Structure formats: structure tokens, C-alpha cells
């Protein structure tokens, strides 16, 4: 479903003498099959968001090849957008000044979703994510937890085969987080939606992800199951310690 083949992305930063090239992602390769639930970990600045932006066609890779849902994201961005759902936890796709339902209505037209399908899916998502109480509330008045549920709904209205989530639980309280996790787990298990999730919350990983990929300094540092991940640091007890170990022990290639 997602194929990443020796992908690199560099940025030129600064000007004049301080001008230099930063390799946000280097030689990154992985494949995600349909129906997988993959956690994508990495310290801040490791290249997670850059990867997500390349997978969704927002950024073009400087080298390598990407295929998502059978399409080259950069070239077929619009077609791809209709096949995948994206949630940027720190941003919102909803219209700040409009009631939630109006945002959904716009998204229906944006993604050209059939009206009956839309109604059915929205009713289902409204039920599962408990949106009923604030459908008519302008988005700017929603709490973060409500907004995030709205954003997840917005990403799923066109029934994408792949859902890419960039920190969907950031800033959520324990209850909202649990609700979000439960929902994502069921989406994957019951609908078979392929999910790629970046997060700093290891609880998300433990609860949801059968497979974990870890990126460090722009390179893939680990790719395996949660148990494999634990096995990399047998001395450590908690998943936090294991990941800390990996983050700090990975050879820095500078």
C-alpha cells in the first residue's frame, strides 16, 4: 500500500556563508502492506513529518521513489488525496469560523463523495466519535479533543484505504486519548484501513501498533514488531526506556 524506495530529502538552509544542506531524510526504504497498523517513531527533528509530507505529496523527495495506494504522490497529488486520509494533529483541516457540519459538507464536495455514502459514513462516525453534541458549533469554540475527533472524521469521510496520522493524540487528555486509540484500533480491525501513525506517545504504540519503525537522523533505525523492539534492549523494563535507549544509542552519522 505504501512503498518507499531509497528516498532522500534535503533542504538548503541559511544564506551566504552559513548556507548548508540539511538531509532531513536519507536513503529511506520501507513497505507497508494493506491492513497494517504501523507506528512511526523518532525523536524531534528525525524526519518523521518530512516523511509524512512526502507520502502525501506535499513535499517532493529529492531522490528515490515513493508509491502510495498505487500512485506517485508528487505527480498524482490530487488523485492520491482522494484515496488517502491525512490528519496533522497540530493543524486542522476544518474551517475555523464555520460549524463543524459545514466543514464536513465542504469536504464532501471537495472529495466528491456521493451524498448517500456521505450521510451513512457521517452518521457512523458521529456515533463512534460522539460528535452529535457539537455538530453545529463553530470549530474555533471546540475543545482540542473535540476538534481532533472532527479532524479524524474529516479525514475518513471519503473512506480512504490509507490513513496517515501525524501525532493525532498530541495534547489530548487521557480519556480523549483512550477514545481516539480505541477508534483507530477498530477502524483498522473492522474496516481494514491501513494506518501509519507518528507519535511521541508510546502508549499509542503499545496499544495499537503491531509494527514499529523508528527513524533517527533521517535514516530508518529500526523496523519490526513491538516484541522485536523490546528485544533490542533486553535490560530495559518499560517501552520508554527501550526507545530512549534506541534514540540515544543509534549511531549519529555526522
Q: Which residues bind another protein (CB under 8 A)?
A: 11, 44-45, 48-49, 53, 56-60, 77-79, 81-82, 86, 88, 90-93, 95-98, 101-102, 105-106, 109-111, 115, 119, 122-123, 126-128, 130, 132-136, 138, 143, 145-146, 149, 173, 175-176, 178-180, 182-183, 186
* Residue 202 Cβ vs another protein, minimum distance, rounded to whole Å: 18
* Residue 187 Cβ vs another protein, minimum distance, rounded to whole Å: 11
Of residues 181 and 230, the one with the C-beta less far from another protein: 181
Of residues 107 and 242, the one with the C-beta less far from another protein: 107
Cell of 138: 463553530
* Residue 92 Cβ vs another protein, minimum distance, rounded to whole Å: 7
* Residue 53 Cβ vs another protein, minimum distance, rounded to whole Å: 6
Of residues 77 and 245, the one with the C-beta less far from another protein: 77
* Residue 199 Cβ vs another protein, minimum distance, rounded to whole Å: 12
Of residues 214 and 242, the one with the C-beta less far from another protein: 214
Half-sphere exposure of 142 (CA within 13 A, CB side): 27
Cα(16)–Cα(38) distance, rounded to whole angstroms? 41
DSSP 206: H
Of residues 84 and 242, the one with the C-beta less far from another protein: 84
Sign of the alpha-carbon torsion through 70, 72, 77, 79: negative
Sign of the alpha-carbon torsion through 140, 145, 150, 151: positive
Contact 157, 129 (CB under 8 A): no
Of residues 51 and 242, the one with the C-beta less far from another protein: 51
Task: Find all residues with CB under 8 Å of 52, minimum gap 6, and list them.
Answer: 40, 86, 88, 164, 166, 196, 198
- Which residue reads 555526522 in cell numbers? 254
Cα(153)–Cα(136) distance, rounded to whole angstroms? 15
* Residue 213 Cβ vs another protein, minimum distance, rounded to whole Å: 17
Amino acid at each position: 500500500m505504501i512503498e518507499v524506495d531509497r528516498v532522500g530529502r534535503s533542504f538548503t538552509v541559511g544564506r551566504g556563508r552559513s548556507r548548508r544542506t540539511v538531509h532531513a531524510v536519507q536513503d529511506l526504504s520501507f513497505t507497508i502492506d494493506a491492513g497494517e497498523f504501523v507506528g512511526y517513531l523518532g525523536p524531534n527533528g528525525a524526519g518523521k513529518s518530512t516523511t509524512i509530507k512526502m507520502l502525501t505529496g506535499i513535499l517532493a523527495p529529492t531522490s528515490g521513489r515513493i508509491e502510495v495506494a498505487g500512485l506517485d504522490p508528487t505527480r498524482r497529488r490530487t488523485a492520491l488525496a482522494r484515496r488517502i486520509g491525512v490528519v496533522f494533529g497540530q493543524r486542522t483541516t476544518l474551517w475555523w469560523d464555520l460549524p463543524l457540519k459545514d466543514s464536513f459538507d465542504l469536504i464532501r464536495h471537495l472529495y466528491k463523495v456521493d451524498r448517500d455514502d456521505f450521510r451513512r459514513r457521517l452518521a457512523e462516525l458521529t456515533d463512534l466519535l460522539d460528535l452529535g453534541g457539537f455538530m453545529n458549533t463553530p470549530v474555533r469554540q471546540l475543545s482540542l479533543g473535540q476538534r481532533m475527533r472532527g479532524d479524524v472524521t474529516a479525514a475518513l469521510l471519503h473512506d480512504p484505504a490509507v490513513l496517515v496520522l501525524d501525532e493525532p493524540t498530541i495534547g489530548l487528555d487521557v480519556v480523549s486519548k483512550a477514545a481516539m486509540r480505541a477508534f483507530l484500533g477498530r477502524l483498522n480491525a473492522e474496516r481494514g484501513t491501513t494506518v501509519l501513525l507518528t507519535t511521541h506517545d508510546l502508549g499509542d504504540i503499545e496499544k495499537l501498533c503491531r509494527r514499529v519503525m523508528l527513524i533517527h537522523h533521517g535514516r530508518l533505525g529500526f523496523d519490526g514488531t513491538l516484541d522485536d523492539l523490546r528485544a533490542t534492549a533486553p535490560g530495559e523494563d518499560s517501552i520508554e526506556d527501550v526507545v530512549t535507549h534506541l534514540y540515544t544509542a543509534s549511531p549519529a552519522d555526522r
